[in-house]
Amino acid sequence: MADERAIALAGEALLLLAERALYWPRARTLVIADLHLGKADHFRRAGIALPAGGTGHDLERLDALLARTGAARLLVLGDLLHGPIPDAPWLARWRAFRERHTGLAVDVVAGNHDRALRRQPARAQALALSAVHASLLHEPPFAFVHAEEDAPAGGPGYVLSGHLHPVLRLPGLPRLPAFRFGAGGLLPAFTAFAGGLAISPAPGERVYVCAPGAVVEVPAEARIARRMPRT
Residue 115 burial (C-beta neighbours within 10 Å; 0-12, 13-18, 19+):
middle
| Whether the predicted pLDDT of 173 surpasses 80 | no
What is the C-alpha separation between 231 and 58, in angstroms, rounded? 17
- Of 129 and 200, the structure prediction assigns the larger pLDDT to 129
Whether the CB-CB separation of 47 and 39 falls below 8 Å is answered with no
Torsion of CA 20, 91, 67, 178, to 10 degrees: 0
| Whether the predicted pLDDT of 51 surpasses 60 | no
Of all residues in the chain, the percent with pLDDT exceeding 90 is 61
Whole-number mean pLDDT of the chain? 87
Contacts of 37 (CB under 8 A, 6+ apart): 55, 58, 80, 81, 82, 90, 94
Q: How many residues does the chain have?
A: 231
Which stretch of 42-51, 173-182, 202-211, 212-221 has the lowest confidence by average pLDDT?
42-51
Which stretch of 63-77, 106-120, 125-139 has the lowest confidence by average pLDDT?
106-120
Task: Provide the pLDDT for residue 117.
Answer: 85
Average confidence (pLDDT) over 26-52: 72
Using pLDDT thresholds of 50, 70 and 90, give the confidence band for residue 114: confident
Using pLDDT thresholds of 50, 70 and 90, give the confidence band for residue 86: low
| Whether the predicted pLDDT of 82 surpasses 80 | no
Using pLDDT thresholds of 50, 70 and 90, give the confidence band for residue 170: confident
- Of 40 and 171, the structure prediction assigns the larger pLDDT to 171
Whether the CB-CB separation of 185 and 158 falls below 8 Å is answered with yes
| Whether the predicted pLDDT of 22 surpasses 60 | yes
Average confidence (pLDDT) over 31-45: 74
Q: Where are the beta strands (DSSP E) in 33-120?
A: 73-76, 105-109
Task: Provide the pLDDT for residue 18.
Answer: 97
Domains in the chain with CATH codes = 4-222 (3.60.21)
Question: What is the reported pTM?
Answer: 0.89
Task: Provide the pLDDT for residue 39.
Answer: 63
